[in-house]
Structure 1
Amino acid sequence: MNKIVEVLPDKAALIQRSLEIVISKITKAIEERGQFTIALAGGSTPKPLYEAMATQNLPWDKIHVFWGDERYVPPDHPDSNQRMARQAMLDRVTIPEGNIHPMPTGGSNPSADADKHEAELQAFFQAQVGKFPKFDVILLGIGDDAHTASLFPHTEALQVRDRMIAVGNKDGQPRITFTVPLINHAREVMFMVVGDSKRAALAQIFAPTADDFTYPARLIQPRGQLWWLLDESAGGDLKT
């Protein structure tokens, strides 16, 4: 794992830097493999990145969009990560609908929908059973409790090592989420973190020793490149 930590002056600078990185990875992936795969994060932090990407002249026919996690709500629900990304970016660009791969949340059985999405990933990446595909870029954030994706402290999903997709749990509400090993197989994992409310979590995530199951983002140790993009208010006094 190669870890790069960058502390940017403010959120605008962080968004600009994340845009530069993502565009460079799109170019490289398409040159080398003919397509680019990205898993989006939810929340307010990456939304301006998606809005910025929508203004770029990108080869959308070669870009495939996934999500690292999703609340178990219909796709038109205000809390849906898919809805946010469609409004901010996907509805504003010429991406083929077949290149958009949302997590299924329309049923009444999160486990069955997790299995369905696992099968979709296996088919798309032509992955052998038991093997994990390599996303080009997985975007992540953290919560004040150091969760990432829908991998929450002391939940069962944290311990899943033999699957790509698991059912997460937030206060009894199911989520669908990438698992730790799927994230860790990515070529690039990029955390985007803003705000002083994240300082305490970051201190534990970056500490030499701490409990991984209390601070789940510590479990993200990808084989590829790990980026931590922090604004000054989040990472200004971080000891890396």
Structure 2
Amino acid sequence: MNKIVEVLPERTALIERSLEICLEQIHKAINERSLCTIALSGGSTPKPLYEAIASQNLPWDKIHIFWGDERYVPPDHPDSNQRMARSAWLDKVNIPAANIHPIPTDEADPAVAAEKHSQHLREFFQVQPGEFPAFDLILLGMGDDGHTASLFPHTEALQVREKLITVGDKDTQPRITFTAPLINHARCVVFVVAGASKRPALAQVFASTADDMEYPSRLIQPQGELWWLLDEAAGLELKS
């Protein structure tokens, strides 16, 4: 794993640097494999990044969009990660509908939806059960509690090692989420984190020893590149 930590002066610089790295990874993947697979994060921090990507002239037919997690709500719900990404980015560019791979949230049982999406990933990436695909780029955020995707502290999802997708739990509300092993098979993972409220958790995530179950972002140790992009409010104590 190649881990890089950068602390940017403020959020505008954070988004600009995030855009640079995303574009580098997109072009690298397309040059090497003729397509790029990206998993998006939700939350408010990446929205300006998605708007910035939408303004780029990219070969949209070669880019496939997935989500690292999703709230268990309809796609037109205000809390939907898919809805946010579509309005900020995907609805603004000429990307084929078949290149957008939302997490299904229409099953009565979220576990059925998780397995359905796992099967879709296996078919798309052409991997066998038990094998993990390698996304070109996975974008992640981090909550004040140290969670990432829908991998929340002390929840069963943190223990899942054999599956691609599982059901996360946020205050008894189900989420569908990538598992830590799936994230860790990525060629590049980029955390984009902003705000002073993140500092206590970041201190634990970057500590030499701490509890992975308490601070799930510690579980993210990808086989490829790992970028932590922080604004100064979040990363002040981590500046080297």
TM-score when scaled to structure 1?
Answer: 0.99
Deviations 1:118-174 (A, max 9, x none): 000000000111110000000000000000000000000000000000000000000
Q: What is the deviation of 1:49?
A: 0.5
Deviations 1:198-227 (A, max 9, x none): 000000000010000000000000010000
Q: What is the deviation of 1:48?
A: 0.4
Who is 1:79 aligned against? Answer: 79
| CA contact 2:7–2:239 (8 Å) conserved in 1 | no
| Identity over aligned pairs, percent | 72
SS of residue paired to 2:209? coil
Who is 1:67 aligned against? Answer: 67
SS of residue paired to 2:237? coil
**AA aligned opposite 2:156:** E
User: Structure 1 unaligned runs (5+)?
Assistant: none
User: Structure 2 unaligned runs (5+)?
Assistant: none
Q: Distance in 1 between matches of 2:154 and 2:72?
A: 20
| CA contact 2:150–2:175 (8 Å) conserved in 1 | yes
Who is 1:180 aligned against? Answer: 180
Alignment of 1:61-140 (within 5 A): 61-140=61-140
Q: What is the deviation of 1:239?
A: 6.4
Who is 1:196 aligned against? Answer: 196
Who is 1:170 aligned against? Answer: 170
TM-score when scaled to structure 2?
Answer: 0.99
Alignment of 1:47-58 (within 5 A): 47-58=47-58
Q: Distance in 2 between matches of 1:14 and 1:108?
A: 39
SS of residue paired to 1:236? helix
Deviations 1:10-57 (A, max 9, x none): 110010001111111111111110100000000010000000011000
Q: What is the deviation of 1:113?
A: 0.2
Q: Distance in 2 between matches of 1:237 and 1:159?
A: 30
**AA aligned opposite 1:193:** V
| CA contact 2:39–2:138 (8 Å) conserved in 1 | yes
Q: Distance in 2 between matches of 1:239 and 1:53?
A: 27
**AA aligned opposite 1:48:** P
Do structure 1's residue 228 and structure 2's residue 228 form an aligned pair? Answer: yes
Who is 2:150 aligned against? Answer: 150
**AA aligned opposite 1:18:** S
Q: Distance in 1 between matches of 2:26 and 2:170?
A: 33
Question: Aligned residue pairs: how many?
Answer: 240
Runs of 4+ in structure 1 displaced over 2 angstroms?
none
**AA aligned opposite 1:7:** V
Q: Distance in 2 between matches of 1:190 and 1:32?
A: 20
Q: Distance in 2 between matches of 1:50 and 1:108?
A: 31
